[in-house]
A and B are shown apart, each in its own frame.
Chain A
């Protein structure tokens, strides 16, 4: 069964609104989670590393004020897309692993459409 749960799976919102995406590790504690973004027919691009109890580490070119990440507990990380615009429309997917030698387990992703 799934070990990482992501919600919602699909969201449509109006331009200017904010959207929160949740990522939960179901049967293990994850001090670190990762957020990826995937455009159609492209690869997964790492956006940020979410660290429990501390600030997220953002990849170059990713606006931290635009994509707010909160990792308040060992099983939950949230990504908030603030003041969303149509160019933010994409597939967002989170992941976590039990240990570094373990594979990353992925949520099922969130397809965001901003109208």
Chain B
């Protein structure tokens, strides 16, 4: 069975510093995708970044990058130059199966609450 683990329930970071949010996963599939979502207090789920299991390079999206260590089964999110608006819950998620199958379910980790200090 697939599993996502986020070991940091909460983190405090000074504004403008970089922060790394940890995520490890467990799956027996060779083909899978890893996602990070941000959930502010309003409740909406905001997609941040995606990494496919066969992607050789780490994904990057603006200030977000994903440190993908396949052998260690980790997919840490790195936020550079943090901003006050980055304060939110962050969820790591995984989808197993073919990348072209929209029927594969996605499961979420327990989340990390990030708080940015001014």
Contact = CB atoms under 8 A, between A and B. Distances in A.
Interface of A: 30-32, 34, 36, 42-46, 49, 51, 91, 93, 95-106, 108-109, 111
A64 to B, nearest CB: 16
A111 B101 contact: no
Contacts of A95: 45, 106
CB-CB nearest 10 A-B residue pairs: A101-B99, A106-B45, A100-B101, A103-B47, A32-B103, A44-B108, A109-B43, A43-B110, A43-B108, A100-B99
Contacts, number: 73
B33 to A, nearest CB: 7
11 contacts: A43-B109, A43-B110, A46-B105, A46-B107, A100-B33, A100-B97, A101-B100, A103-B35, A104-B45, A104-B106, A109-B44
Interface residues of B, number: 28
Given A42-B110, A43-B111, A44-B91, A104 B47 contact: yes
A91 B91 CA distance: 16
A43 B113 CA distance: 11
B90 to A, nearest CB: 11
